[in-house]
Every structure is written in C-alpha cells, then in structure tokens.
Structure 1
C-alpha cells in the first residue's frame, strides 16, 4: 500500500448508511444504560443514602459538559474515526493517533470487562463455566457485527428495550412506595453525595461511543448531535426515577448491602420469580453494552486505518455486508485476550483512565477550533461563551481532570505506560506514511 493516497481506500467499499435518528438514539440509550446501573446503585447508595437520586443529577451535569463537546465536533467532522478526526484537525495527527489508540484500547478493555460481568451472571444462573461464557458472548456478538450494521442495530434496539424494560419495571414496582422515606437523608452528608457522584458518573459512560456510527448514519451532521442529547436526556430521567423507586421499596441500608440491588428490590416487592426476571434482564444489559462497545471500537479502528494511521488492512470492508470485517475480527481477538487479563475492577479502572484523558483532549479540541477556525461550519454549537472561549468545554476539562485524579496510583501508572506506548507507536506508524 506504500505510495497510495488515503482517499483511494475510501473509494473502494464504503460503509452502508442505514441508521436514522431513532436507531442511533436507542443505540445510545442502550450503551449508556448498559450494565452499570444494575451494579452501581447499591455502592452509590452506601455513600449517598436515600439522596442517591441527587448523585445521578450531579454526575449527569458533569457528563453533559463533554457530551455537548462531542455533539459539536461530530457535527463538524462526521467520520467513523471520531476522536481521531477531531483531535487531528484541532491539535495534530500525533496527538490524534495517541487518543485514537487509547479509545481503541478502552473499547477492548470495556468489552472484556462487560463480558466478564456477563460470564458471572450466566454462570450463577446456569452453572456454565465463567470464562467460557464470557468468550462465547464475544464470539456471538462478533458474528452479529460481521452480518451487517442493520442487523446489529436491530439486535441493539431489542436488547435496549429489554434492559430499559427492567428499569421501568423497578420504577413501576416503586410507585406505590413513593413518599415512604426521606429522600434527602444523607448518612455521610454532602461529602458522601460528591463521592457517590464520582462513582455513578461511570453509569453515563457510553455517549462518546455514538459518534463512531457517523459514516453509517443518514444526515449525520444533524442526527448524531440530536441523538446524543436525546439519549443522555432519556437516561438521566430513567436513572433519577429508578433510584427514587429503589430506595422507596427497601431503604438505603438494605440497598447498600446488596450485590444485585435491582433484583433484591424486585424480590422484596414481588418474590423470587421477579428476582429471576431481573437477573435475566441484567444478562441482556451486559450483552448489549458489549455489542455496542465492539461496534464503536471496530469503527474507530477502521476509520484510523482508512486515514492511513493504522495498517490499511484494518480498513477492508466486506463487499457483501459492507462491514469492516478485519477491524471487527481484530477487536474480537484482542477482547478475548483481555478476558483472561485479571479482575473486573482493575480492567474497568484502566478503561476509565483512558476515557478521562480522552475527554480532557476532546474538550480542548472544541476550544482550540473555536479560537483557530471560528469560520468553520458548525451545524451544532455548544452553548455559552465568554469572548471567543466556550464555557462548557472548560468545565468539561476541569471535571474530567478531577475524576482522573481519583483513580488509584497503580491504575495511573498502567494508564500512563499505555499512553507512552501509544506515543512511541505514533512515531513508528506516522513515520511510515508515504
């Protein structure tokens, strides 16, 4: 491929533009809801008490800063390479390569983490081997991805409706109990509220994955930003309602001690059949999150290869299904490898390091492009400016850095090492360009 221009890759087999606003919005809701809320609610309640609903409102505000930055950039550069494209135009290709590298890794680590969660649920319900169940999930999801984006979106929509149905079920269960507790009771005061807010911020992660669908979306300049805002708004509404419902049924003390908070709420209200139903829904939630993470990771891999920053083999698209089959297989194999890497919490926290660092750079990209290229067309603009500086991206940088500093030293060390490796890899890969 030496001597060929990047544009030649794009003229071969493009991705198929199949997705509209509803499909993209529901995909976003699916990946944001994911498995996080099913596991995090109990831990957050231990810190925030009955006021746990407040932590979801606070963390939503923080997530919103960066989400709006993604909305503006996606409207300007509707490409599958997403963060790589944004940072390349704002800062330069070397920094963009490192960010793209971290996003791909975060996707792989995220798939491994969620698959391990699926394996745990499936093993508890059926007795099947834990690791084998996790690997089997990745293989099945890869087959769906290879089949086509329309079919992938259909599966994601079905799984999203199922997992959202589980949350709605808890909300409905809690309706008769509303008003039974003091919703401002905070066992650790506002200190606990802020600690819990940092924790439940993880439940909002996933909005950044939506932009990788840009080359498979009709009218992406309008659709992606609108879908981003809608998906985040829907999840905020559901999170606050479900947290109010859960503490109303069992109270914060019992919820805080639970390993499966939603299932326990269902059990208290409706008995063991409801417990089993919620546990099964949690399986669908983890599967959906893994599926959509694989979509995002494979698309940014494809996009970077298409832009000649990764081996062009990864940009190959099937003529029959119009899916980036080599990138999908690469993400599949890497995800399976990391399933055997260690415990869930460690892999998840390394993923968080990569995302927080990416969020800092993405918000900086919005600010730099406003200052350096104010005349560029922006179908969506992040609201609020002081002079020529947009305010919300500045707040996004500050809050993302604050969350980054809360990670354990060993996670910062591993994340830093992977970042340095990405820098070295950028020297090699970009140095090979014709």
Structure 2
C-alpha cells in the first residue's frame, strides 16, 4: 500500500440514504413540474411513473455493480472492467460534465428564487452559492452529508406540504387527460427524468461509506423507493389544486399551488423551501462530480493533480476546486429545461453503457461474489438491465433535438480525447 492519503469512511446507511434522497429530490421536481404538466396535462403522474420505471431498471444495475466495485470512480470503474479504458473514459467524462452542468443550471434556479424573494441579481447569487458550497465540500464529507440531510428534511417538508394541500382536492380532475396524447406523456417522462437524477451519484460516495458492499445497494434502493412515492403523490396533488395550464405558465409552480390552497403567505414559505432544495441539489452534484474526477485521476485517466487529497480534511481538494471553477463558468449560460434535457441525454447514454456492463460482467465473470444481485434472468442474461437499455433508447427519441446535439458533442469530445490519450500511451 502506498503512503497516499485516502478518503475517510464516515458515512453509514442512514447518511447515504438521506444524501441520496436529497440529491434525487430538489431542483428537478421544484423547477420542471410545470413544463412536464404542459406536455402531459393531468397525466403528468404517468410521466413520473414511466421515468421511475427506467430509474428502477438502471438503479438495480448500479446496486449490483456498486456492491462488486465500491469505488468513487463508479461508472468509470464499471465500464473499464466490462469494456476497457477507452469507453470508460468517455463515460466518466460525460458523468463529470453532467454534474457540472447540472450544478450550474440549478444554481441559476436558486438565483431565480432568491431574486423573487430579495431582489438580488441572479448570476452573482448563483456564483456565490457555488463558492459557499465548495467550502462545505472542502471542509469534509461528514459536514457535507449533514448539510445535505438538513436540506433534504426541509425540501421534503415542502413536498409533504404540497401533498397535504392536495389531499382534499384528490379526485377533482380527470387524471388520464392528455392534451398532447401519449407522445406528450412520453416527452414529459423524458424531460422529468432529470428529477430522478441522483441515484447514480450516490455510488460516488462508496469510498467514504462504511461497509459499502452492503450499505450502498440498500441505500440506493431505499432512496429510489422514497422519492418515487413522493413524486407520484406530488404530481397527483398539484394538478388537483391548480389547473395544469396554470402550472405550465408558472415559474414557481409549487408556490402557486401553496398560494391557491393556503393563501399568498404560503408563496413565500414554499419559495424559501425551494432555496434549500436547489442549494441541496447543487451541493450534491458538486460532491458527486468531484468524486468521479478524483477516482479517474486515481486511475490515471485524468491528470494526477486531481487525485490530491487534503492531508488534514481528507477531501479531494483539487477535484473540488476544478469542478467548482467549471460550474461557475457554465453558470454564465443555460436554461433549465434545455439543460435538463441535455443532462438526460448524457445520462441515458451512460445508463445504456452501465446496463451493458452488468450484462457483460455476468457473462465474463459469473463467479465473482455479488453481495447484491439484480433479480430475474433468462439463462445468464439478466432481464431488467436489458429493459433498462431498451427504455433509455426509447426516451432518447423523445428528447429535444438541440439537447441531443449538445450531449452528442460532449460525448464526441470525450471520444476524441480518449483516442488521443490512447495513441500517446501507445
């Protein structure tokens, strides 16, 4: 064993589960439900259920792979084991940019809520948020996790308020009304998948989790179950209280629902809760992006300087600084619905590879111990990862064309760099 400083294992099942719930909840549901309602109408809950299905298929693959390879480099490690370093680099590259772009966009969402409450300009507020949260990340993963837990409890309270105010109104509308038909529901599912983004980020905490082979799969499944139930209940509630046309036109749909049911004071309360929700998502996206950058540097696929760990705090300081600077740069542009779609495209590509990695490793390395194993198989072929690949391909067809172009450009750039690195190494 070398004398390098390792990450500190401080997180148990509770902290990892709550961190997972925190990163899955947040900006997606708070910011995108209006746009999803515009596409799906009162059937927006079906869009959430469809997106949940894709999350379950791929989430179980992550659970098995994280139990076999509990590494911070996560997707990079899984893909490397199954298909080699070239494709692994592209996947890791995409995941880093997904976290960076997502964090900067959600920070702008925070700035929008903050402007509505205080009048402060959006961009400086977004940049200041990213800088403050980077200090939290540099301080230590335990502090970051507890920040995430507190913020998660607050944002979950916001969702519970929305569900509560919707209960008296349940059954008041036709929940199968689809103004855009099934195509609109599918497009809403492709967009709203951004709201489930986060379960894949949890596995980046494997090297800072105690007994990760057991705790990571359990935490991942628990976090997904909690958020799926909350999302579908919220989707049913909002269209019961406020017409979907009003939600579609609002920049603060949850606050609109609260104001309609509880009065104008509730608008301020829900908007304040939305600040915690967006801040929490930014914190956890920065955390996850810095961890995979650190893991890839450890594997010598990114500059080794990104693998530097602070000797006292034992946090990947260089990776955190790099991710912070990139996020600030991307904060100068971005519209949340468009960038959410671009992020979804990146994630769908990644999930196709991850599900493929599980299938390949079942074939090539069937005897490797698997503390968690995805159920259902035909022969050696696991059924759910195959369904994960097919459903990801299906939803890609329903994404915005410009978002697909941006995601494809980032993937192509990663491929070019991977080829150049290979030639230099060879």
C-alpha contact (below 8 Å) 1:71/1:228 kept by paired residues: yes
- Change beyond 3 A, Cα 1:170–1:346: closer
Q: 2:205 aligns with which of 189, 210, 213?
A: 213
- CA deviation string 1:76-107 (max 9, x = no partner): 10000000000000110111111111111111
* Distance (whole Å) between structure 2 residues aligned to residue 417 and residue 49 of structure 1: 32
Displacement of 1:29 after TM fit? 0.7
Question: 1:27-426, aligned counterparts within 5 Å?
Answer: 27-426=19-418
Please report the TM-score for the alignment, with normalisation by the length of structure 1. Answer: 0.94
- Change beyond 3 A, Cα 1:407–1:190: closer
C-alpha contact (below 8 Å) 1:309/1:430 kept by paired residues: no
- CA deviation string 1:155-186 (max 9, x = no partner): 00000000000000111112222233333333
- Change beyond 3 A, Cα 1:318–1:260: same
Q: How many residues align?
A: 426
* Distance (whole Å) between structure 2 residues aligned to residue 342 and residue 282 of structure 1: 19
C-alpha contact (below 8 Å) 1:87/1:362 kept by paired residues: yes
Q: Secondary structure at the match of 1:267?
A: helix
C-alpha contact (below 8 Å) 1:382/1:390 kept by paired residues: yes
* Distance (whole Å) between structure 1 residues aligned to residue 128 and residue 199 of structure 2: 26
C-alpha contact (below 8 Å) 1:109/1:348 kept by paired residues: no
C-alpha contact (below 8 Å) 1:54/1:193 kept by paired residues: yes
Q: Secondary structure at the match of 2:243?
A: helix
Displacement of 1:417 after TM fit? 2.8
C-alpha contact (below 8 Å) 2:187/2:399 kept by paired residues: no
- CA deviation string 1:253-292 (max 9, x = no partner): 4333332211011101111110000011111111000100
C-alpha contact (below 8 Å) 2:10/2:142 kept by paired residues: yes
* Distance (whole Å) between structure 2 residues aligned to residue 360 and residue 239 of structure 1: 24
Displacement of 1:398 after TM fit? 1.2
- CA deviation string 1:228-263 (max 9, x = no partner): 110010011101111222222223343333322110
C-alpha contact (below 8 Å) 2:205/2:288 kept by paired residues: yes
C-alpha contact (below 8 Å) 1:308/1:433 kept by paired residues: no
* Distance (whole Å) between structure 1 residues aligned to residue 32 and residue 200 of structure 2: 20
Q: Secondary structure at the match of 2:8?
A: coil
What runs of 5+ residues in structure 2 fail to find an aligned partner? Answer: none
- Change beyond 3 A, Cα 1:169–1:120: same
C-alpha contact (below 8 Å) 1:159/1:288 kept by paired residues: yes
* Distance (whole Å) between structure 2 residues aligned to residue 171 and residue 354 of structure 1: 31
Let me know the Cα RMSD of the aligned residues: 1.7
Bigger mean CA deviation after superposition, 12-21 or 405-414: 405-414
C-alpha contact (below 8 Å) 2:75/2:88 kept by paired residues: yes
Displacement of 1:193 after TM fit? 2.8
Displacement of 1:311 after TM fit? 1.4
- CA deviation string 1:283-308 (max 9, x = no partner): 11110001000110000011111111
C-alpha contact (below 8 Å) 1:115/1:138 kept by paired residues: yes
* Distance (whole Å) between structure 2 residues aligned to residue 197 and residue 415 of structure 1: 18
Question: 1:6-17, aligned counterparts within 5 Å?
Answer: 8=2, 11-17=3-9
C-alpha contact (below 8 Å) 1:353/1:407 kept by paired residues: yes
